Amino acid sequence: MIFEDHSAHGTIGALIYVATIVVWLFVWHVADGYNLMKSRVKPLWIPFVLGLFFLAINAILVFLFDDIGTSDYEESRFVFIDSRAMLAVQALAAVLIVATIVYGLTVRRLPLEFIRFMVYSVVSILGLVAPIVWIPEGLTSGFFLLRHFQNAALMVGLFLCVAGIIVMLSDLLSHGEAQVVLDPRELLDNEKAAENDSSK
C-alpha cells in the first residue's frame, strides 16, 4: 500500500496543513466571518470553502506523495511561492488604496469587518511568508517543511484578502447612494449631520 513506505516528512507536512485548517477556522471566528456569512455577506462562503478545500487538498497530497528532492529542487519550489506572494502583496496594496480613496471621498466609514480581514491577511502574508529562514544547504527536509509552512500561510492570507474584498464590495453595493464629497470641510459637516440624525 502507499502508506507502508510513508516517511515522517509527509506526516509532518500534512500536519502543517491540518493545523492551518484549525487556525483558519479560529481566525474566521475572530473576524466574525460566520455571522457575516449567515446574515449580511453570504458570498463569504466562497473564500471560506475554497480556503478549506485547498488546505485539505494539499494535506492529502503531501501525505500521499512525500518524496523529498535534492536541495536544488526543493529550493527552486520557492519561486512559485515568491511569485504568488508578490501577487498577494500587490492585491493587498491595491485593495487598501481603492478602499482609502472610495471611502475617503464618501460619507461612508470603512466596515470594521473589512479591516479585520485585511489585518489578518497582512499578518499572514507579510508576517509568515516574507520572513527569511536560513536553511543549511544539505538539510533538504528543512526546505521541504518550510515551503509547505509558507504555502499554507500564503493560502490563508490570500483567501482572507478575498474575504475582505467581498465585504468591501458588499458594503459599497448596499450603500450605492453614498454621496461623493471632494471638499474635506463638507465631508466633516456631513459626518456631523449623520451623527446628529442617528442620535435623534
Among 22-31, 75-84, 113-122, 146-155, the least confident range:
75-84
Give me the helix-helix angle, 140-174 and 8-30, nearest 10°: 20
The whole-angstrom separation of Cα 141 and Cα 70 is 9
DSSP state of 125: I
With vertex at residue 72, the alpha carbon angle to CA 19 and CA 129, rounded to the nearest 5 degrees, is: 35
Q: Where does the pLDDT of residue 69 fall: very low under 50, low under 70, confident under 90, or very high at 90 and above?
A: low
C-alpha cell at 150: 509558507
**CA-based nearest residue to 168, from 103, 120, 121, 105:** 103
Candidate ranges 96-100, 160-164, 176-180; pick with highest mean pLDDT: 160-164
The whole-angstrom separation of Cα 128 and Cα 149 is 9
Q: Where does the pLDDT of residue 54 fall: very low under 50, low under 70, confident under 90, or very high at 90 and above?
A: very high
Hey, how many other C-beta atoms are within 10 angstroms of the C-beta on 66?
19
The whole-angstrom separation of Cα 157 and Cα 84 is 11
C-alpha cell at 166: 467581498
Largest CA distance in the chain: 72
Predicted structure pTM score: 0.75
pLDDT digits 0-9 by tens, 141-157 = 777 888 889 889 989 99
Phi then psi dihedrals of residue 180, to 5 deg = -85, 130
Phi then psi dihedrals of residue 194, to 5 deg = -65, -40
